[in-house]
Amino acid sequence: MQAGLNPLWHEQGCKPRDEVLKGTLTDAELALSLSAVGWGRAKPPYNNPVTFFQSTHLTSNMKTILENVLGRLSKAKSDVNPIIVLDVGFGGGKTHTLVTIFYAAKYPEEANKHLAKLPHPAGVRVVAVSGDEYGSEKVQRRNQTIRTLWGDVFWLVS
């Protein structure tokens, strides 16, 4: 290392995962899919709430969104706007935030290990609807072919 330059990380404070150090981590492995999480087909560490929360840095915005969404659903924060716009560019964390909400709502005990106690809504069914499933792929629900997002929403609530 050249004199006067600081290292990119301190080995005791931030140790990259082995696949990063070996150079074997691919972009495809970093890509997070709400659809894959919802269907139970996601790859580690995204495939279950334990490893997801262990490997996710929860930003202050993620924490605020979680508090607001779960607070609204549990009626602890009934004054919170029910519509949240995630207005960030590519790679800005939209999907990661949606998966965080999905896992926190579905597995609140795991989320609470990593966050302050969150409100837990009772009697709420957790579903993940991802627009990338519609179109040519179509969605199959109990031998019913669903072709549009709104058809799927109707099917899920009926």
Residues 111 and 49 sit within 8 Å (Cβ to Cβ): yes
Tell me which residue of 63, 69, 55, 46 sits closest to 17, measured CA to CA. Answer: 55
Q: Give me the pLDDT at residue 7, please.
A: 66
**Residue by residue, what is the 3-state secondary structure of 90-138?**
CCCCHHHHHHHHHHHHHCHHHHHHHCCCCCCCCCCCCCCCCHHHCCCCC
CA angle 75, 98, 155 (to 5 degrees): 75
Q: Give me the pLDDT at residue 101, please.
A: 93
Q: Prior bond to 119 cis, omega within 30?
A: no
C-alpha dihedral (128, 46, 59, 81), degrees to nearest 10 = 10
Q: What is the pTM of this model?
A: 0.73
Q: Give me the pLDDT at residue 13, please.
A: 64
Residues 6+ apart with CB under 8 A from 105: 69, 70, 73, 121, 124, 126
Q: Give me the pLDDT at residue 2, please.
A: 59
Q: What stretch of H or E contains 50? A: helix 49-55
| Residues in the chain, pLDDT under 70 | 1-14, 27-30, 133, 135-137
| DSSP secondary structure letter of residue 4 | T
Q: Give me the pLDDT at residue 29, please.
A: 67
Q: Give me the pLDDT at residue 48, please.
A: 93
Q: Give me the pLDDT at residue 9, please.
A: 63
